[in-house]
Structure 1
Amino acid sequence: MLTGTLYALAAGLLWGLVFVAPLLLPDYPAALQSVGRYLAFGLIALPLAWIDRANLRRLSRADWKEALKLAAIGNLLYYVCLASAIQRAGAPLPTMIIGTLPVVIAISANLRDHRRDGRLPWRKLAPSLLLIALGIACVNRVELEALRAQPDADASRYLQGALLAIVAVACWTWYPLRNADWLRAHPDRRPRTWATAQGVATLPLALAGYTLLWGGMAVAGSDFAMPMGPRPWFFVGLMACIGLFASWIGTLCWNAASQRLPTALAGQLIVFETLAALAYAFILRGRAPEPLTMLGIALLIAGVLWAVRIRPEASVAEGHAA
């Protein structure tokens, strides 16, 4: 439990970096940031795949199809929606919506996977979920008040950002559940190998997306300086950093956590991503959080600490037909 929680913490700290890129590249299309990030992830995965080729050969065609699905929905589609949401609504609104993931995943997993993982009793889980929900509400209230204070706020863009963030939540509710299915069904496989497989599966999708985006912008007569935009070296360096740290190492840490923890509990630990994203956002802003934000962060941490103390109970076996 402790090792799995530490791996989830590391994944959250690394995944929080993905909220920074759209703020640092506001003039870059979200789709370009997504395909750029995962093109970097795929290229980084190639030499790692060569080193780990013996284990990758053990993967079946069905395994590679699953890696491709996870890459398409949990990587590319998720990040297109998230980056688009941040560019339209700023960081606070998408962060608040993504912050509901611990609650959404925990409830989904407890309903879906109790036969495999054991059921986390609702009476014991409820205080943890309540603390997390209250913490998110506190943080979000401060951020929403800041948004309302902006005289040039565009309600339609905020609404678009909110809807895109909801789609991102749907993608990332599906991803950890399906990813945990594969990892729990293959306890003999290394999390590193599965992270590399997802990187390799992402590469052709990212290449195709990059090509289509470049061609589409050319046909539309866009004046954006493809293939790498007006700040090519900054773009390439940032995509490489996020591809390595957030995509490969972050996925590796999450896979290690998913093999060790019940899915319902692992889902709650995604709260570390929310905390990291908020911390990085305030560092970029150059100011300390408001007192209500600090209270929200404390409640989030308390909810997670409560959750890791819960042990799953075996599900009651269903009766057999005569």
Structure 2
Amino acid sequence: MWIGTLYALAAGLMWGLVFVGPLLLPEYPAALHTVGRYLAFGLIALPLAWADRRALAQLSRADWIEALKLAAIGNLLYYLFLSSAIQRAGGPLPTMLIGTLPVVIAVCANLRDNGRDGRLPWPRLVPPLLVIAAGIACVNQAEFAVLRAQADADVGRYALGALLAVGAVVCWTWYPLRNADWLRAHPDRSPRAWATAQGVATLPLALAGYALLWGGMAVGGAEFDMPLGPRPLAFIGLMLAIGLFASWLGTLCWNQASQRLPTALVGQLIVFETLAALSYAFMLRGEWPAPLVLAGIALLVAGVIAALRVRPERVPAPVSAPDRPPAP
């Protein structure tokens, strides 16, 4: 149990890097953060693909198309939304919204598959959801107060950041559900090889995105030093760090935790990612969170843990009408 918990903590600490990358290099556009991160991850996936080459060779054309869809929405579009949100609204509010993902995914999966997996009892689920909403509201109120205290406050930019964070939640709610559909439809395939296939599929998408971004900046006359920006060494180092630690090693640690801990407990430990990301964000600011922010974080963590403890109830099978005897 302790080793599994430490693995989950390590995964959360590494995944938290994703949320501070856009803050470490704020002069870099969010699109460049996105294609740079997944270009690094795609390159890291190549040796893994060589190790899984036999399993990858069994994938059909339709499988690779599905891997491209998952990579495009679950990787590139998700992180484009998230990095754009962080650069506009700061770190805390987008991090809090992303922290609701375990509950949002569970609710959406239950609404879609309650005939197979059971139905979540709403009377027990609504109170934790209200607690989560109250936590997000506390952090939003605190961040909005900080924004209004600034002379050059841009409320519209902050609101757009919050909306983009919601878009990131939508992308990463769709991704695990669609990914689980493929895994259930192909029980004879290796989940590890399927994850590697998505990493390989990310590489050409990231390359194409990088080329489009570079060309678009050149045509638009943007004053940005492509391809690596004004701080090339910092950019390359950050992209490699996020690609290695957040995209690969963090997932490896999470899989190790999943093998050692009950599934219900693992779902609750995803809050390590949220706590790590919030800690990094306030460390970059060089300040302690305000009391209202601390209260909001506590409410979010309590609400997520309480919601994940609600167990589905079996849906009774419909009773078919008895056969009538044939009319004389």
SS of the residue corresponding to residue 206 of structure 1 reads helix
8 Å Cα contact 1:195-1:248 kept in structure 2: no
1:105-134 CA distance string (max 9 Å, x none): 332122112233322322333333333333
8 Å Cα contact 1:195-1:252 kept in structure 2: no
SS of the residue corresponding to residue 16 of structure 2 reads helix
Q: Distance in 1 between matches of 2:26 and 2:139?
A: 24
Q: Distance in 1 between matches of 2:307 and 2:319?
A: 31
1:222-269 CA distance string (max 9 Å, x none): 2311111111111111101111222233455667859x858xx95x76
- Who is 1:104 aligned against? 104
AA at the equivalent of 1:50: W
SS of the residue corresponding to residue 26 of structure 1 reads coil
TM-score (norm 2): 0.84
TM-score (norm 1): 0.85
Cα 1:155–1:310 shift into 2, 3 Å? closer
8 Å Cα contact 1:9-1:272 kept in structure 2: yes
- Who is 1:243 aligned against? 243
- Who is 2:69 aligned against? 69
Q: Distance in 1 between matches of 2:28 and 2:240?
A: 16
* TM-superposed deviation, 1:8: 6.6
Moved more, 231-240 or 276-285: 276-285
Cα 1:165–1:310 shift into 2, 3 Å? closer
* Residues paired across the two proteins, number: 318
- Who is 2:326 aligned against? none
* TM-superposed deviation, 1:11: 4.8
Cα 1:303–1:164 shift into 2, 3 Å? closer
RMSD over equivalenced CA pairs, Å: 3.1
Cα 1:122–1:58 shift into 2, 3 Å? farther
Q: Superposition pairs for residues 1-322 of structure 1, below 5 Å?
A: 11-187=11-187, 189-251=189-251, 261=263, 266=267, 271-320=271-320
Percent sequence identity is 74
Q: Distance in 2 between matches of 1:2 and 1:308?
A: 20
* TM-superposed deviation, 1:34: 0.5
SS of the residue corresponding to residue 113 of structure 1 reads helix
Cα 1:161–1:295 shift into 2, 3 Å? closer
Cα 1:118–1:253 shift into 2, 3 Å? farther
User: Larger Cα Rg: Structure 1 or Structure 2?
Assistant: 2
SS of the residue corresponding to residue 55 of structure 2 reads helix
Q: Distance in 2 between matches of 1:281 and 1:90?
A: 8
Cα 1:130–1:158 shift into 2, 3 Å? closer
